[in-house]
């Protein structure tokens, strides 16, 4: 298994090189709709009674999901990503940005009402997931919400996709496996699955207790 430093450096290299191409890629309408439905549910489950909902978009990429939440719900997530080029795209859309990975968040305990991770969970080795989930649980307030959406599959390792020059690290999950690992730290309140021609999508939403 490659070490964390190698995984992160190669992710930065890949996404910095391909940020514009990634941002301009066409997403099938049914996939876009599936992601929107999950985000709508995510927002509906955020704890009430907060004058300012604080949401983190962990692994934001170019910030499309955060723009969706800002425009539809008036909530502006903070975009967190390892790639400076991706964060530049987020900033150009008026989104707050922060560079970093997910295992050592600078946020205070229980200072965040919600965290969503669209396809960024895929880039974390499975051996590191418990630590990352504990850290997310630390910063999320009581009854705060975590949502993870990713591609279904099996195995983990570096892959070189046809459209991108540099290999990236991927970890794939089956639905039961994803439920079990997220359920160790969060109460599962929703699961969803979309059958897709290239790779099926899984989404899971949990609450902190």
pLDDT tens, position by position, 3-13: 778 878 887 78
pTM of this structure = 0.93
Label residues 93-124 b or e (16+ Cβ within 10 Å = b): eebebeeebbeebebeeeebbbbbbbbbbbbb
Q: Is the pLDDT of residue 49 over 80?
A: no
Residue ranges per structural domain of the chain: 4-146+157-189
Q: Is the pLDDT of residue 173 over 90?
A: yes
Please list, in sequence order, all residues whose beta carbon lies within 8 angstroms of the beta carbon of residue 89, skipping any fewer than 6 positions away.
Answer: 19, 20, 23, 61, 62, 63
Q: What percent of the chain has pLDDT over 90?
A: 69
Region of poorest pLDDT, from 44-53, 74-83, 193-202: 44-53
Region of poorest pLDDT, from 23-32, 68-77, 187-196: 23-32
**Per CATH, which fold does 4-146+157-189 belong to?**
Rossmann fold (3.40.50)
């Amino acid at each position: 298994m490659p070490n964390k430093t190698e995984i992160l450096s190669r992710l930065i290299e890949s996404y910095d090189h391909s940020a514009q191409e990634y941002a301009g890629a066409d997403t099938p309408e049914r996939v876009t709709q599936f992601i929107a439905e999950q985000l709508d549910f995510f927002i509906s489950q955020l704890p009430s009674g907060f004058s300012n909902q604080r949401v983190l978009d962990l692994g934001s990429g170019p910030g499309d999901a955060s723009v969706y939440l800002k425009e539809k719900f008036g909530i502006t997530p903070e975009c967190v990503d390892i790639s400076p080029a991706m964060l530049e795209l987020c900033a150009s859309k008026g989104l707050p940005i922060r560079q970093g990975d997910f295992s050592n968040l600078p946020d205070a305990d229980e200072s965040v009402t919600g965290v969503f991770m669209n396809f960024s969970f895929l880039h974390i080795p499975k051996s590191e997931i418990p630590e990352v989930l504990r850290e997310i649980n630390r910063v999320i307030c009581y009854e705060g919400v975590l949502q993870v959406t990713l591609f279904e599959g099996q195995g983990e390792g570096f892959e070189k996709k046809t459209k991108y020059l540099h290999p990236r690290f991927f970890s794939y999950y089956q639905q039961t496996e994803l439920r079990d690992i997220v359920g160790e730290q969060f109460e599962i309140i929703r699961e969803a699955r979309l059958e897709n021609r290239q790779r099926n999508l899984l989404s899971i939403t949990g609450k902190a207790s």
